[in-house]
Amino acid sequence: MEREQYLAAIKPRMPEKRYIHTVGVMETAINLAHKYGEDVKKAETAAILHDIAKYADIEWMENIVRDEKLDERLIGWGSELLHGPVGACIAQSEFGITDDELLNAIRFHTTGRANMSRLEKIIFVADMIEPNRRFDGVDRLRKKAQKNLDKAMSACVRHTLAFLIDTKQPIYPLSIECYNDMMNREDSEG
Ligand code: DGI
Ligand code: FE
Ligand code: FE
């Protein structure tokens, strides 16, 4: 499928604001894919589909977790944690995507995980720094993303975890595994 077909398919499934965010993630992911030698088409498709499940019904998503034997720990965490893994299932079942790298980029875009691929990092970072995002420190993250993908990934994970702790939210195990992995890599300093 071509870009315009994917975009037309996702548009009716989300509010305008989320669609604009998605286009921003797409443009940012394409830019990062060029910069870091990643498959540009894969980055584009993963970005367009990354939030496809964001507005799906929670009970429906929890049933997918059970039916598709996804990580049972997802039950009870709500749509913020469900929409990545369930989005990957939709990408597979409704859009016929079979590429595991692409599916994993959608699946882990919210939490990250240990040993992330370059494509997973690109989608995670692009999701946070796309042009419509507004939060303190986002410009610093944007500058880092133009210099070093691993350092940008590390800074993005630290920002998310700091936010979750500040706002007294529980932290999903994969998010912690992602953070620990980044901190254990020399390259992530700075
Ligand atoms: O879907 P988006 O809003 O574009 O962004 P996202 O999928 O990266 O994140 C959705 C939300 O999930 C965001 O408010 C941060 C939150 N989140 C990320 N990791 C965790 C988390 N929430 C909890 N409770 N625990 C996590 O580990
Ligand atoms: Fe998301
Ligand atoms: Fe997003």
Structural domain harbouring 140: 3-189
Query: In this structure, are residues 11 and 63 in contact, taking their beta carbons and an 8 Å threshold?
Result: no
Total domains present in the chain? 1
Query: Is the confidence at residue 11, as pLDDT, over 60?
Result: yes
Verdict on whether the full-model pTM lies above 0.85: yes
Residue 188 CB–ligand 1 contact under 6 Å: no
Residue 124's pLDDT is what?
A: 99
Residue 187 pLDDT grade (very low, low, confident, very high; cuts 50, 70, 90): low
Residue 188 pLDDT grade (very low, low, confident, very high; cuts 50, 70, 90): very low
**DSSP classification of residue 131:** T
**DSSP classification of residue 15:** -
Residue 20's pLDDT is what?
A: 98
Residue 6's pLDDT is what?
A: 98
Q: Which CATH number belongs to the domain containing residue 84 in this structure?
A: 1.10.3210.10
Residue 185 pLDDT grade (very low, low, confident, very high; cuts 50, 70, 90): very high
The CA distance from 144 to 94, in Å, is 35
> For 82-115, b where at least 16 C-beta lie within 10 A, e where not — what string?
bbbbbbbbbbbeebebeeeebbbbbbbbbbbbee
* Nearest residue to 90 via CA among 57, 49, 45: 49
Closest ligand 1 atom, CA of 54?
1
For 58-75, what is each residue's pLDDT tens digit? 999 999 999 999 999 999
Mean pLDDT of the residues in the chain? 96
For 126-140, what is each residue's pLDDT tens digit? 999 999 999 999 999
What separation in Å is there between the alpha carbon of 49 and the centre of ligand 3?
9
Which residues lie closer than 8 Å to 159 by C-beta, 6 or more apart? 128, 137, 141
Query: Is the confidence at residue 190, as pLDDT, over 80?
Result: no
Most distant CA atoms of the chain, gap in Å: 43
Ligand 1 atom 13, closest CA: 80
The CA distance from 74 to 16, in Å, is 27
Query: Is the confidence at residue 154, as pLDDT, over 60?
Result: yes
